[in-house]
């Protein structure tokens, strides 16, 4: 896409706001629509857009394939780990009241924050990995045929 000047300029401008919006959706999810799934998709879209316009090598310099693969598993581990921590504190699995026994609703905030963060990491990793897997293969249609 070297000849698409407008796309390249617009992408450079848009990538940072997209990531910022993803973080807003993630951390404001308690108050407004959205949460880990939506934020993860938005975050992945920023990287995928960058990869489509500037090429796979450029985006993999920012987020290498191994990092995206590790993120897939790390998010599930953060989510399940939250449950294990509450188990170790003597409560039920994923009972967030355990994080702040004197003030259970604060514990709920911490727990929801933590599991939503795990969801964000997994969804971002999976979406970016799937895009990498497709984009790394040699296309059957050449660029001019579109």
Partner 1 sequence: MLDLFIDLSLFTMLVATGFAIVKMRRLFGVTMMTGVFSLLSAMLLVTLDAVDVAFTEAAVGAGISTVLMLSTLTLTSRIEKSPVHTPWIPLLVVAVTGAVIIYGTLDMPNFGDANAPAQVGVAAQYMERGPEDMDLPNTVTYILASYRGYDTMGETSVVFTAGVGVLMLISGLRRRRRRKPSRDEGEVS
Which residues in this chain contact partner 1 in the complex, by CB under 8 A? 25, 29-35, 37-38, 41-42, 44-45, 48, 52, 64, 66, 69, 72-73, 75-76, 79-80, 83, 93-94, 96, 104-105, 108-109, 111-112, 115-116, 118-119, 122-123, 125-127, 129-141, 145-146
Minimum distance, C-beta of residue 33 to partner 1, in the bound complex (Å): 4
Of the pair 9, 73, the CB lying nearest partner 1 is at 73
Minimum distance, C-beta of residue 17 to partner 1, in the bound complex (Å): 15
Residue 54 and residue 41: Cα distance in Å, rounded?
Answer: 20
Minimum distance, C-beta of residue 23 to partner 1, in the bound complex (Å): 15
Residue 70 and residue 44: Cα distance in Å, rounded?
Answer: 15
Residue 43 and residue 26: Cα distance in Å, rounded?
Answer: 10
Residue 92 and residue 109: Cα distance in Å, rounded?
Answer: 17
Minimum distance, C-beta of residue 110 to partner 1, in the bound complex (Å): 11
Burial environment of residue 124 by CB neighbours within 10 A (0 to 12, 13 to 18, 19 or more) = buried
């Amino acid at each position: 896409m070297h000849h698409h000047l407008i796309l390249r300029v617009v992408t450079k401008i848009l990538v940072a706001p997209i990531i910022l919006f993803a973080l807003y959706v993630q951390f404001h999810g308690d108050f407004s629509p959205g949460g880990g799934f939506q934020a993860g998709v938005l975050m992945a879209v920023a990287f995928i857009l960058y990869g489509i316009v500037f090429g796979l090598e450029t985006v993999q310099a920012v987020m290498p394939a191994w990092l995206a693969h590790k993120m897939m598993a790390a998010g599930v581990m953060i989510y399940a780990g939250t449950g294990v921590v509450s188990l170790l504190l003597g409560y039920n699995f994923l009972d967030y009241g355990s994080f702040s026994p004197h003030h259970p609703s604060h514990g709920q905030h911490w727990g929801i924050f933590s599991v939503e963060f795990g969801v964000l990491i997994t969804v971002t990793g999976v979406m970016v990995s799937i895009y990498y897997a497709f984009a790394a293969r040699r296309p059957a249609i050449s660029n001019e045929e579109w």
